[in-house]
Structure 1
Amino acid sequence: MLNKYPVWKYLLLLFIVAAGFLYALPNLYGEDPAVQISATRGGDVDVAQLEQVKQALQQNGIEYQSLAIENNQIQARFKDTESQLEARDIAMQALGSDFIVALNLMPAQPQWLEDLGGSPMKLGLDLRGGVHFLMEVDMSVAMQKKQEEIQADFKTSLREEGLRYRNLLPFGNGVKVSFRNAEETQKAEDYLSKNFRELTIAQSNEDSNTITATLSDARVQEVKEYALQQNITIIRNRVNQLGVAEPLVMRQGAERIVVELPGIQDTARAKEILGATATLEFRRVDQDADPASAANGRVPYGSEVYYNRNNNQPVVLKKDVILTGNHITGANASFDEYQRPQVNIDLDAQGGTKMSHFTKDNIGKPMATLFVEYKPTGRKKPDGSIEFEAIKEVINVATIQARLARSFRITGIDSAAEAQNLALLLRAGALIAPIQIVEERTVGPSLGQENIDLGMTAILWGFCLVLAFMILYYRGFGIVANVALAVNLVLIVGVMSMIPGATLTLPGMAGIVLTVGMAVDANVLIFERIREEILDGRGPQQAIHKGYESAFSTIADANITTFIAAVILFAAGTGPIKGFAVTLAIGILTSMFTAILVTRAIVNAAVGGRKVSKLSI
C-alpha cells in the first residue's frame, strides 16, 4: 500500500516520542534551593557532620525539606531561598574552615525519574539557574613572586660571572645587592645593567657598595596585568575541567574577576576548584640540619623548616627552589604498585632541563615536594584588599634514584580524591597570585522576571496562533500538524534535557520560537503539494504519497542550509549566540522528524490502507 507503514516503524516512532516525553518530564517538577557541603581536599563527610548541621539548623529554627549524605556530600533542601541563605551561614559557623559550604539548586523530580537518568533542562543565568562568583586577586603576592624570580636570577647570574656578594634582599619593587668593595660593585653594576634591561639598576644613595634593581612603574603595571590575565586564563581552564556550559569569565576593574556558571549542579566542587590557589615547589632537603632543633627556632642560614602533612614531623628544606608548578604542563592521578594514590607530572622543556641538571648531580640525596596553598585570613590590608596566608606542607620526601627528566611522579597524598583535585589544579595551571571569592550568590533572571514572562508569552502566542491558522486553513490535516508541533516542542525540551552541558537562555527561547515557524513551514509545503496533486486529478492516497515524496527535497535543502548556519554560529559565537545556535540546531532536527515522519505516521494510521473519496485539507 502507498500509505501504510509497517508495524515496526510505528513502534520505533512511538518509542522515540515516548522517550522525548519521559526526558522532558523532569522539567515539570522544578528545582529546590539547597545547601551543599563537602570536605576540603577531597576528604569525606560522615554522620557526625550531618548531625552537627542538623542540630545547628534546629537550634536556629530553620526548617528543611530533606537533609542527607549523597555522593560524599551533605545536601540540604529548603522551601525558599531565604531559608537557604540562613542555613548556609549557620552551616559555615558550625563546621569551620575544613568544609566547603555552597549554594545550589537541586532538581525536585521523583527518584524513579532520576534512576532513569532524567534531569531538568539546565537554564542560563538569565533564567534563574546559575552561580555567580566575584573573585579578588592579591597583587602583593604577584609582586613578591616577581621579586623572588629576580633574586633567583641574580644569584645564578652573579655566581656564573664569579661575582661574590654579601647579601641579596628584597627592596621596594625590586631587590638590592651588597658587595665587599667598590671594584666588585662596579663590575656587578655593568654586568647586571647589560643583562637585565627591564630593571633600573643603580648604586644605592645610602651605601656605595650596594646596588638597587627596581622595576619601573610601567613594568609593575605589566606584572599586575599579566597576573590578572593569566589568572583569568587559568580559571577558564578550570571551568572547562568542570564541564560547565556557556560559562562567563571576565575581569572587573584592575584586581577582580567575575565568574558566572550557568546550570552548575556541583557548586561546592566548583567553589573549591576555582578558589584554590595551589602549586608545588620541589626543594632540596638540608641533610646537615637537625629537624628537632630547627623546629625549636634554630634554623640554619639558607634553610627553612616545614612540616610533613602525613605525620606532622618537621622537615628542614633549602630556601632555593629547584622547580615550581609554573613549569607543569600535565598532571593526572593514578595509583602506584601498592595501590596508593599518586600524581604523574609532566614538565615543559625548561622545567625538564632544570630537573635533569639538578637530579644528575644529586643522585642518592633526598628531594622534597612542598605543597603551597594560599588561604584568606579574614583580615584586610590597609588598602582594603583581602590578606592571604601561605600554607606550606611537605607532601613527599623521596631519595633521588636516577636522573629525572620531563616526566616523574609524586606520592604521599592522603586520598584518591585529593590526588584528583591536585592533578586538576596542576593541569589547569598554577595561579600567578592567590584569589579570594569575595561574593557568591545564585543568580536570578538578569533581564528581569518581566522579560522571562514575555519570552514565554511569545512562545505561547506564537504556538497558539500557528495552531489556529493550521486548523482554519488545513482543517483535518491542520490538526495533524498541530499534534506534530506539540510533539516537536516536547522533543526539543527532552533533547535539551538529555544533552550534557546544554543550557537554555533567553536567546535559546528565541530559537525555539523560530523552529516552531520552521516546523509549520515544512507542513505547509507538504499540504500545498497534496492540494496540487488533488487538483491535477490524482486520488487521495496517491496525492498524499506524492505530496510527502515531492516536498521532501525542498524541505531538506532549506533545513540543511539553516542547520549549517547554526553550526557556524555555535563554532564561532560565544555566550548567548551559542545558546541560540544550540536550540536552533536541535529544533531543526526535531522539526524535520515531526513534520515529515510523525505527521506521515498519523496520516497513514488515519486514512492509509483504506478507500477515501475526499481529504480534509
Structure 2
Amino acid sequence: MRKTTSKPKYTWQILVIIITVIILGLNAIPTFYGSNNALLVSAVNPTQSLPNTQKLRELMQQQQVNVEQIIHAESESKIVIEGNDETLIQAQAHLKNTLGDDYHVRLGSQSAAPTWLQGMGMSPIKLGLDLSGGVLFVLEVDTDKADQERLNNAKDEALQIIHDQTLRGMSAKLPSADSAGGNSATNSDTSANNESSINLHFLSNQASQVKAMVHELQLRLPGIHYTQTDERSGTLAFTDESKTTFHHEIMAQALTTLRGRIEELGITEAVTQRQGQNRIRIELPGVKDPEQAKRIIGATASLDFYEMAPNGTVGAKAFTDENGRRLRVAPKPIFTGSNIENATSGRDEMGIALVNLALDSIGGKKMSDFSRDNIGNPMVTVFSEYHKNNADEMVKSSKVISVATIQSQLGNRFSITNLDSPQAASDLALLLRAGSLDAPITIVQQRTIQASLGQENVSNGIMALAIGLGITLVFMGLWYRKLGLIANTSLLLNLICLLGLMALLPNVVLTLPGIAGLVLTVGMAVDTNVLIFERIKEERKRGRSNFLAIETGYKEAFATILDANVTTMITALILLSIGYGPVKGFAITLSLGILTSMFTGVFVAHVLTSLVKPQITITQKELKA
C-alpha cells in the first residue's frame, strides 16, 4: 500500500509528553524502592538539645542494630535502621530507657530511594492500612452526653442570671434534681420531655421578672426556648433545630481535634472521616505502637480554670484535690481549654514537670482581668475526662491538678506546675495543643493489621496487576500488530504516569482495592485503544488512505471515549465523596486512572501513531481481522 508522509507538526505535543512523563516518572521511581524503618527522636522541652550522631549510633550498636543513616532536623533526629518491625520496637524501647523522660522516641519510616531523589522532595506512594499494616479505630461520639452537659451549663447560666438579678423565690433545676427533692410541679405526661429540659419554678407574682430572665438567657444561649406549664412553673429547652446544629458542630469539632492529635503523634498518612451519624473512622497506616495511639486518640480530656467560690455562692461546684481537701469553685470557669493556643511540657527550677500555656486574645484578656483583680487569691485548675464505669456507662470524672495563688497580674502566658511526671506533662501538653473534646468518645472497634499481612497483600496485588498487564500486552501485540505496539507503549506510560501522580499528590493513599483500581485502569486504557483502532479499520474498509483513516479514527472515536470516561468519573467522584476506607481508596485510584488513561490513550497514542504512520501499513489480513 502507498505510504503517506506529512510535515512535522507535533512539536508542542511532543514537548508536553516528554515533560509530563519525566516529571511523573521521577515521582514514580521512589515507590519501587520502598521505605525503611526509622526512629524519630525529639526533645520534650523544645529548648533542649538533641543527642549527637555519635551517641545515637553507639546506643544502636549496643542493641546490635545496623544504622543506615541518621538525619538531623531542627526539632528531631531520624535514625534509619535495617531490620524488621520487631527490631524497630526493641530499638525504640532501648532508646526510651536510655534517654529517659526528657525525649520522645516515636516510630516512623524513611524513603529508601537514592539521596538525589529525596533531595528533590520525591517520596514513595503512601500505603493504606491494609498494605502497610497499622491500626483501625472506629469511635462513637456520645452526642446525648454532650446534650446533657450543654443543658447543665444552661442551668448554671440561668442560676447565674437569677443570682445577678436577685430574683428571690425563683429556681432552675434539672429533672433529676427535682425528683430527688420531691418536687412534683411538672405533670407526669411531660416526663419524657423533661429529660432534655430545665424546670423553672417561680412565684405567681414574678411573671414579668421571668420574662426578663428568659430574655437574658436567650441572649447568652441562642436556641433555647421557654414554655410555661402553669402559673408557677415552666420549662427551658433547646429547640430541635438548635440540637441538630449543635450535633453538627460537635462532630466537626471532634474531627478537627482528632486530626490535630494524630498530627501531634507524627502520623501523616492517617485517614480520619465521619462514618454514619455519630461515628468517626480513623485509619493509622504504619503505626506499630497501637497503645500510644489509643491513649491519645481516645482521651476526652478538658481543662478549666476556676476562681474559688465565696460562701453562699449559688450553684458552686465542689472538687477534691490530691490531699483530700474539698474545694468549692465558681459555677462558671474563668476560661477553658478552648482558649489555649499552644502548650509545651518542661521542668521548673526544681526539675518538677510543668506545662507552659499560651492563650489566645480572648483567654489572655480574661486571665489578665481576673489576675489583676485577684492578686493573693487562689486559682483552681481542673482536669476532666470521661470514662466507662463498671456498668458500662459513660461518666465524667474531674480532678484538681493545681491550686495556685496569683502573685501578680498575668497575661496570655503562664504555667501549670506540680504535675505527676514528665510523661503526664507531655501527654497533657499534646492534648491541649490538639484541643479538647466537648463530647465523650468511645472506641467501639479496634483492629490491628500486622505489617507481614500488609506485605502479603502488596505481593498478591502486584502479582494480579502483573498478570493482567502481561495478558493485555500480549493480546494487543498479537491482535493489532504495529498499532498494538503503540497501544502497549501508551499503556506502560499510563501506569508510570498514574503511579507518579499518586506519589505527587498529597493525601492520596494506595490501598488493596486501589490496586484493583490499577488493574481496572489497565482495562479502561486498552478499551480506549480498541475503540480507536476498530474505527481506523472501518475507515480503511471504506477505502480511505492510512493517514486519513488514522486521523478520522481518532477524531470520530473521541466522543465515545469521552462519554464513557465522564460517566465513569461521575461514579468515581460519588464513591470518593460518600465512601470511606477501601471504597475511597478504590475511588481515588479509579478517578486518577481515568485522567491518565485519557492522556496516554488519546493524546500520547495519537501523537505516536502520527509520528510513525509512514511505517504503518494496514494489510488486508488485518482488515479482515
Match of 1:261 in 2: 284
Correspondence 1:548 to 2:564: no
Name the CA shift for 1:107/1:436 in 2 (closer, same or farther; >3 Å): farther
Per-residue displacement from partner, 1:505-552 (whole Å, max 9, x unpaired)?
111111111111110111011111111111111111111111111111
Structure 2 SS opposite 1:117: coil
- Residue 232 (structure 1) shift: 8.3
423-432 vs 234-243, greater mean Cα deviation: 423-432
Structure 2 SS opposite 1:571: helix
Structure 1 SS opposite 2:576: helix
Match of 1:417 in 2: none
- Residue 260 (structure 1) shift: 2.8
Match of 2:469 in 1: 463
* Gap regions ≥5 residues in structure 1: 165-186, 205-217, 220-228, 288-301, 307-315, 334-339, 401-408, 415-420
Match of 2:86 in 1: 82
Per-residue displacement from partner, 1:428-477 (whole Å, max 9, x unpaired)?
6413599999x999843697655544322221111111111101110011
Match of 1:240 in 2: 259
Structure 2 SS opposite 1:199: helix
Query: Which among 73, 77, 86 is matched to residue 76 of structure 2?
Result: 73
Partner Cα separation in structure 2 for residue 63 and residue 73 of structure 1:
20
Correspondence 1:117 to 2:121: yes
| Paired residue type of 2:284 | L
- Residue 274 (structure 1) shift: 3.9
Correspondence 1:561 to 2:567: yes
8 Å contact 1:136–1:435 — kept in the other structure?
Answer: yes
Correspondence 1:600 to 2:606: yes
- Residue 98 (structure 1) shift: 3.9
8 Å contact 1:475–1:616 — kept in the other structure?
Answer: no
| Paired residue type of 1:240 | R
Name the CA shift for 1:102/1:434 in 2 (closer, same or farther; >3 Å): farther
Partner Cα separation in structure 2 for residue 59 and residue 388 of structure 1:
44
Matches within 5 A, 1:6-85: 6-40=10-44, 43-44=46-47, 46-48=49-51, 54-78=57-81, 79-85=83-89
Query: Which among 298, 309, 333 is matched to residue 322 of structure 1?
Result: 333
Name the CA shift for 1:553/1:160 in 2 (closer, same or farther; >3 Å): same
Name the CA shift for 1:25/1:503 in 2 (closer, same or farther; >3 Å): same
Correspondence 1:344 to 2:378: no
Match of 1:488 in 2: 494
- Residue 101 (structure 1) shift: 2.5
- Residue 282 (structure 1) shift: 3.8
- Residue 149 (structure 1) shift: 7.0
| Paired residue type of 1:59 | Q
Per-residue displacement from partner, 1:110-135 (whole Å, max 9, x unpaired)?
22111212110011110015456799
Structure 2 SS opposite 1:591: helix
Per-residue displacement from partner, 1:60-118 (whole Å, max 9, x unpaired)?
44443334433411322222212101112122222333433222232222221112121
Correspondence 1:577 to 2:580: no
Match of 2:106 in 1: 102
Query: Which among 156, 159, 177 is matched to residue 199 of structure 1?
Result: 177
Matches within 5 A, 1:352-391: 391=401
| Paired residue type of 2:94 | I
Partner Cα separation in structure 1 for residue 176 and residue 159 of structure 2:
17
Name the CA shift for 1:501/1:332 in 2 (closer, same or farther; >3 Å): same
Query: Which among 436, 446, 450 is matched to residue 430 of structure 1?
Result: 436
Partner Cα separation in structure 2 for residue 488 and residue 555 of structure 1:
16
8 Å contact 2:50–2:76 — kept in the other structure?
Answer: no
Name the CA shift for 1:523/1:156 in 2 (closer, same or farther; >3 Å): same
Name the CA shift for 1:440/1:522 in 2 (closer, same or farther; >3 Å): closer
Structure 1 SS opposite 2:106: strand
8 Å contact 1:37–1:75 — kept in the other structure?
Answer: yes
Name the CA shift for 1:53/1:447 in 2 (closer, same or farther; >3 Å): closer
Name the CA shift for 1:548/1:196 in 2 (closer, same or farther; >3 Å): same
* Gap regions ≥5 residues in structure 2: 183-194, 197-247, 311-317, 344-355, 417-426
Match of 2:190 in 1: none
8 Å contact 2:301–2:385 — kept in the other structure?
Answer: no
Partner Cα separation in structure 1 for residue 119 and residue 500 of structure 2:
16
| Paired residue type of 2:530 | V
8 Å contact 2:95–2:105 — kept in the other structure?
Answer: yes
> Could you tell me the percent identity over the aligned residues?
33
- Residue 396 (structure 1) shift: 9.6
275-284 vs 148-157, greater mean Cα deviation: 148-157
Name the CA shift for 1:392/1:108 in 2 (closer, same or farther; >3 Å): farther
Structure 1 SS opposite 2:591: helix
8 Å contact 2:27–2:503 — kept in the other structure?
Answer: yes
Partner Cα separation in structure 2 for residue 265 and residue 6 of structure 1:
52
Correspondence 1:92 to 2:96: yes
- Residue 283 (structure 1) shift: 3.8
8 Å contact 2:576–2:587 — kept in the other structure?
Answer: yes
Name the CA shift for 1:566/1:370 in 2 (closer, same or farther; >3 Å): farther
Per-residue displacement from partner, 1:40-77 (whole Å, max 9, x unpaired)?
4x725524476665554443444433344334113222
Match of 1:171 in 2: none
CA RMSD of aligned residues (A): 5.8
Matches within 5 A, 1:272-351: 274=297, 279-284=302-307, 322-325=333-336, 342-344=358-360
TM-score (norm 1): 0.65
Matches within 5 A, 1:519-530: 519-530=525-536
8 Å contact 1:508–1:583 — kept in the other structure?
Answer: yes
8 Å contact 2:536–2:550 — kept in the other structure?
Answer: yes
Match of 2:209 in 1: none
- Residue 566 (structure 1) shift: 1.0
8 Å contact 1:281–1:321 — kept in the other structure?
Answer: no
Partner Cα separation in structure 2 for residue 464 and residue 478 of structure 1:
13
8 Å contact 1:281–1:369 — kept in the other structure?
Answer: no
Partner Cα separation in structure 2 for residue 92 and residue 35 of structure 1:
11
Partner Cα separation in structure 2 for residue 22 and residue 268 of structure 1:
37
TM-score (norm 2): 0.64
Partner Cα separation in structure 1 for residue 61 and residue 110 of structure 2:
22
Matches within 5 A, 1:141-220: 156=160, 195-199=173-177, 201-202=179-180
Match of 2:132 in 1: 128
Correspondence 1:518 to 2:518: no
Partner Cα separation in structure 2 for residue 412 and residue 572 of structure 1:
44
Structure 2 SS opposite 1:247: strand
Structure 1 SS opposite 2:108: strand
| Paired residue type of 1:344 | D
| Paired residue type of 1:199 | A
Query: Which among 533, 536, 545 is matched to residue 539 of structure 1?
Result: 545
